[in-house]
Amino acid sequence: MQGKRILLGISGGIAAYKIVTLIRLLIKSGAEVKCILTPASCDFISPLTVATLSKNPVGIEFWDKSDGTWSNHVEYGLWADVFLIAPLTANTLHKLAHGGCNNLLLATYLSMKCPVIVAPAMDLDMYIHPTTKRNLEIIAGDGVLVIPAESGELASGLIGQGRMAEPETLFESLEAFFENSSELVGKRILITAGPTYEALDPVRFIGNHSSGKMGFALAENILRKGAEVVLISGPTKLDLKHNNLTLVKVQSAENMLHAVQEHWSNSDAGIFSAAVADYRPLNVAEQKIKKSEENLTIELIKNPDILGWAGSMKSEKQILVGFALETTNGKAYAEDKLTRKNLDFIVLNSLEDHGAGFGFDTNKISILDNHNNFTSFELMSKANVAKDIVNYLKKYLK
Ligand code: C5P
C-alpha cells in the first residue's frame, strides 16, 4: 500500500467510529489518506480525530466559513487512486444513485476519476428494503464496487445483515484492489470447496461444518491474478461472480468426482480444499425414513477419493495441492497423504489452533511440499491465507 492515495468518504452512521481503525491500518501500511466527512457523520466521529490520524485536513463543507477557503472536489478526484465510502448510509447511497450533490462528499463522487468502492452499513430492514437493493444495483451498474454488509449484531440490538464490513476486511479489499495483476493469465485452475451432502433419504443427509470460505477465498485471489477458475463447490451460502469463473455447484462426493473428472485434464493446477465426506449411506431410501425402531443402523460405504483420483491422473506439468485437517499427528498424516495422493504440496490446518478451520474467518496453516520443506504461517484471515497458498503455487506454475 506504500504511497497509494486513499480517499475515504465517511457518511453519518454509527459504524463511522470503526473508520479510525481503518485509517490507522492504512497509515501503518504506508498509504496516504485524506478524508471527506458528510456533515451528519460529524455527530458520530470527530473531524479532529480523523484529521489527526490521517495526517491531513478533513473536508466537510464546500468552503471553510472561518477563512473562506474552498475545498476543491475536483482536486480530490484527481488526487485519489481509489475512493472508499465507508460507512455508506441509506441516505448517501440514495444520493449517489440519483446524482444528489448537496455536500462535498457527493460532489467529489461526481468528480471522481478513480474507481469507487462502498461499504454500506444500516439496520437490517433498511438493508433488505427493495429501495436499498435497487440503489445498490444502480451504483454497481455505474461501476462502483460494493463490499456487502456483514451479518451480526447491529447497533439497534437486532441481529441480521447490515453491519459494515470490519476495518480489516475493508483494508484487505483495498489491498486486493491494488494487487490486481495479470501474473496468472492463461492458466486454468480447478478448485474444490465446501462440504458434501450424502443423502440418507429425500430430506436428510450426512454432512459437515465446512463453510467453503477457504476455497472461495482461493478462487477470488486467483481470479484477481487473471487465471480462469473452475470452482466445484458443495452446498454453501457463498456466491461468486466473475467473467473467468465457472462455478459448478454439487451436492455429494460422487457429483463432485464427476465434475472434477470433466475439468481436471485441461487444468494447469488443482487445489482440493473441499471437506469431502469419507463415507455415504449404502442405500438411499426413496421415501422419508419413518420413525419406528428404537435404534436405526445406517450402513455406510466409502466415497471415492477425488483428490486421489486427480493425483493418479496427474500429468508431468500439472500441479496438485491438497488440504489436511487433523486433530492429532497432523504432520505425519500430511506426509503420508502427500506421497499417497501424488501431491506437489499439502496445506495443513489443525483443529487444535483456536480460530482455525471450519466456519471461522481466520485460519492457521502450515505447508509441506514434495521437497520436504515445512513452512508454518501465522493465524490470519482466510483471504490472507489464500494469498500465501497462491504465492506458493506460483513458484510451481511455470
Ligand atoms: O485423506 P483425507 O480425506 O484426509 O484428505 C484430505 C484431502 O483430500 C483434501 O484436500 C480433500 O479435499 C481431499 N479429499 C477428496 N476426496 C475425498 C476425501 C478427501 O478429494 N473423498
Active-site option among 72, 91, 208, 370: 208
Atom of ligand 1 nearest to the CA of 326: 4
CA of 308 to the centre of ligand 1 (A): 8
For residue 359, the model assigns a pLDDT of 62
Q: What angle do CA 91, 71, 145 make, to 5 degrees?
A: 45
Q: How many CB atoms lie within 10 A of CB 257?
A: 21
Residue 81 corresponds to which cell in the numbers above? Answer: 487512486
Decide: 257 in ligand 1 pocket, CB within 6 A: no
Fold for 5-180, please state it. Rossmann fold (3.40.50)
Decide: 252 in ligand 1 pocket, CB within 6 A: no
Decide: 272 in ligand 1 pocket, CB within 6 A: yes
Residue 208 known to be catalytic: yes
Contacts from 103-107 at CB under 8 Å and sequence distance 24+?
Answer: 103/38, 103/39, 103/61, 103/62, 104/36, 104/38, 104/59, 104/60, 104/61, 104/62, 104/71, 104/73, 105/9, 105/10, 105/11, 105/36, 105/37, 105/38, 105/59, 107/62, 107/73
Alpha-helical runs (H) found in the chain:
19-28, 47-54, 73-79, 90-98, 104-111, 124-128, 130-141, 167-179, 213-224, 253-263, 306-313, 330-340, 382-396
Domain with CATH 3.40.50.10300 in the chain: 188-396
Q: What is the DSSP letter of 102?
A: S
pLDDT < 50 regions, the chain: none
The best mutation among 233, 255, 273, 276 to test binding of ligand 1, ranked by most ligand atoms within 8 Å of the C-beta, falls on 276
Q: What is the pLDDT of residues 42-85, one digit of tens each?
A: 999 999 999 999 999 999 988 877 777 777 888 898 899 999 99
Domain with CATH 3.40.50.1950 in the chain: 5-180
For residue 89, the model assigns a pLDDT of 97
d(CA 72, CA 170): 26
- CATH code 3.20.20.70 for 188-396: no
Q: Name the closest-CA residue to atom 9, ligand 1.
A: 323
Query: What DSSP letter does each residue of 230-265 carry, written as one string?
Result: EEEE-S-S-----TTEEEEE--SHHHHHHHHHHHGG
For residue 68, the model assigns a pLDDT of 76
The best mutation among 191, 278, 305, 338 to test binding of ligand 1, ranked by most ligand atoms within 8 Å of the C-beta, falls on 305
Decide: 192 in ligand 1 pocket, CB within 6 A: yes
For residue 357, the model assigns a pLDDT of 65
CA of 254 to the centre of ligand 1 (A): 13
Decide: 338 in ligand 1 pocket, CB within 6 A: no
Decide: 322 in ligand 1 pocket, CB within 6 A: yes
Atom of ligand 1 nearest to the CA of 322: 10
